[in-house]
Structure 1
Amino acid sequence: MGWMMGSMAARELEYVRVRDVVPATRNPKEHDLPRLVDLIRRFGFVESVVRDGRTGRLVAGHGRLEALEVMERRDQSPPDGITVDQDGAWLVPVTVGWASRSDDDAEALGVALNAVPALGGWNSATLAETLRDINAVDPDLRRLIGYEDAELDDLLAGLQEDGGGWDDDPAEQAAPRTGGADPTDRNQRRSTSLAELADGYDDQASRIMVLSWEGPRYVWAVQQLRELGEQRGLDSNADVVLALIADAVGQAPPDA
């Protein structure tokens, strides 16, 4: 029996100028743009962005698109997977054929595509072994994919404590390990004082700080952060906030 066409349109790939791709009206996901740029340089542009056929706006791939904008603006060579038109503009692969039923539908998918993959967690033993093997060949590559030295040490220590592997029971892997926090759970610890904050996070690569505004204040804040970032040559909102804090207190932040 041959393949049957469903009620939805077939998925196709179009190449569109990076500057012509329209982002979603709002996107709550923040991005580590310097890391995304480095990942694209290393691996090429692997995964296409997705456009909503109903709105004509992006539903997935905002971070990757922003990284391409940064790279093109800096006159870097186009990465593998990105083509160039006759005018020299970069063309990004866009998956088309999916259409939302409503604005809520589109925003729900946008959140789900970012949030749901993380909900499955990690197999701690397999992750430790994988990172150990990557680290043996290229420690910088291991750091590039988001695992700093202290995190690798924690994972390998857990592997050694259990004689080479964690219990195969998913419930055991999901639960916090006896004697300390699960090293694969980067958001498990909560600090209530500056002393606890320093003790808990000094050895970590990065942490998330959530700033929340409503309505017009959010739009205004994002616009100001972007403009300040361009003025100061900073690539992320986090760098802009850090620079503003340093200016306000008259003190340079500590080295990362």
Structure 2
Amino acid sequence: MSTLKSQVDKLQSQIKLSSNAQENEKIIEANSNILNRLNKSLGELTSNKAKFNVIPLISQLDEQLIPSTEGDESDGFLISESSGLVLGDDIEALLESAKVSLSLFSEKWKELGHEAQQDDSLNNSIVALKSLTKIISGLNDKYWDQWLINLENDFVVEDVVLEQQTSLGKDKVYNEYNKLKAKFYVDKLSKDFNSSLVDSLNHSKEHLIKLRDQMDMSELPEDVVKFLKDLDSNYRVATLELITPDVFAWLTKQDLLSKLKISR
């Protein structure tokens, strides 16, 4: 009887251990699921940090890029008088919502443990993080892409003007311009967002402008030269009165009419 009892006790002990192991496995799986879901959302938000950090830098180089806090805008990214980046009302609201949702879930997890996986506060936290990530990512891309467009507009040269340089003894200018322009486009595709990338892109732009200013336009009609110089200038505006019959004919011949825009 003693042997039978010990065997029964051993079997019961094994069953209990097995049950505990299954319960522990269930708890580990639930907590892992919680961690993975939160880490995914937090990771997506963190991945925008590098580009977010360079937005103030590019706004200092392009003062018209981002609205000022002194203006009528109250949403999105704003720039303060001290050139600091300020979050608009819409982003602040989403940020506060994410903080509240995460705080509520934290309390639920302390109370329920792994069972908090089923609580609405977890899903609410993830939704709040995704909403915050989406708006920040969108604004990052908007202002970064617009800055790159503005840089290119500053140094652009019509192909016909550029190609003429080789026949006017400006081979060095022609080659340096194309080489530096190629470097600019390589940098433009970089995902390594930092101050060095910003400096490199801006330096390339400034050097390209200097090279453009060295180009020979002597073979172009006088009216065309004046029009192009005003068009390229950061200090003058090319008005419609500059589009003389000769300028219009030249623009038509070079297929540039569809590439230039009129703005007020």
Which has the greater radius of gyration?
A: 2
TM-score tier, shorter chain, comes to: under 0.3
- What's the TM-score, normalizing by structure 1? 0.23
As a proportion of its length, which structure holds more helix? 2
As a proportion of its length, which structure holds more strand? 1
- What's the TM-score, normalizing by structure 2? 0.22
